[in-house]
Amino acid sequence: MKPFKVRLRFHGDLNLFLRSKACDAVIERPLAEKTSIKDVIESCGVPHPEVDLILVDDQLVGFDYTLANDTKADVFPVETRDTKRTEKRLQTISIVRFVADGHLGGLTRNLRLLGFDVAYPKNADDRELLEVMARENRALLTRDRRLLMHGFVQHGYWPRSQNADEQTIEVVRRFDLSKLVAPFTRCLRCNALLEETTKAEVIDKLEPLTNIYYDKFRRCPDCKQIYWSGSHFPKLQKRIEEILLRTQDKA
Q: Which residues contact Zn ion by CB under 5 A?
A: 187, 189-190, 192, 220, 222-223, 225
Residue among 222 and 241 whose Cβ is closer to Zn ion: 222
Residue among 12 and 121 whose Cβ is closer to Zn ion: 121
CA atoms of 52 and 49, how far apart (whole Å): 8
Question: CA angle, 89 as apex, 158 and 146 as ends, to 5°?
Answer: 25
- Please state at what angle helix 164-174 crosses helix 105-113, rounded to 10 degrees: 60
Name residue 206's beta-bridge partners: none
Whole-number minimum distance, CB 223 to Zn ion, in Å? Answer: 3
Residue among 178 and 229 whose Cβ is closer to Zn ion: 229
Whole-number minimum distance, CB 225 to Zn ion, in Å? Answer: 5
Whole-number minimum distance, CB 229 to Zn ion, in Å? Answer: 17
Whole-number minimum distance, CB 194 to Zn ion, in Å? Answer: 8
Residue among 46 and 187 whose Cβ is closer to Zn ion: 187
Whole-number minimum distance, CB 122 to Zn ion, in Å? Answer: 14
Helix (H) or strand (E) holding 226: strand 226-228
Residue among 29 and 189 whose Cβ is closer to Zn ion: 189
Specify whether the CB–CB gap between 138 and 101 falls below 8 A: no
Helix (H) or strand (E) holding 133: helix 126-135
How crowded is the C-beta side of 15, counted as CA atoms within 13 Å? 12
Please name which of 75, 15, 21 lies closest in space to residue 67, comparing C-alpha atoms. 75
